[in-house]
Amino acid sequence: MGTKLTSLVLVVVAMTATVLRTARAADEIHEGKVVAVGEMTITILDRRDGDNDTFVVTAQTKITKNGKSAKLTDIQAGDMAKVTASALEMGGKLVAKEISAVAPE
């Protein structure tokens, strides 16, 4: 009985690790100028593809500005931002996992 339980636990741990690795690999990095900040969204003009990308910001989103912990309301249009987003969509929008913003000089 103990061996079966140990085997089951090892299988569950291995599957969880695989899912987490896959989820992390699916993260996308977007960088560009902030064009709008909403109540729970941020939109940037993405340098890579030249279009506006909107991200949902959740309570779990880690936000920094100029290297310090910040709130979404601290970020303003015109700031430069790097957004790490989950490839999983929420309501048709990407979910921001981390936002790192810098005020223009």
Q: How many CB atoms lie within 10 A of CB 46?
A: 16
User: Topology of 28-102 in CATH?
Assistant: OB fold (Dihydrolipoamide Acetyltransferase, E2P) (2.40.50)
Q: Which residues contact 4 (CB under 8 A, 6 or more apart)?
A: none
Domain ranges of the chain: 28-102
Q: Return phi, psi of residue 72, to 5°.
A: -55, -35
Instruction: Give the model's confidence band at 22: pLDDT under 50 very low, under 70 low, under 90 confident, else very high.
Output: very low
In this model, does residue 7 exceed pLDDT 80? no
Share of the chain above pLDDT 90, in %: 61
In this model, does residue 92 exceed pLDDT 90? no
Q: What is the average pLDDT across 8-36?
A: 69
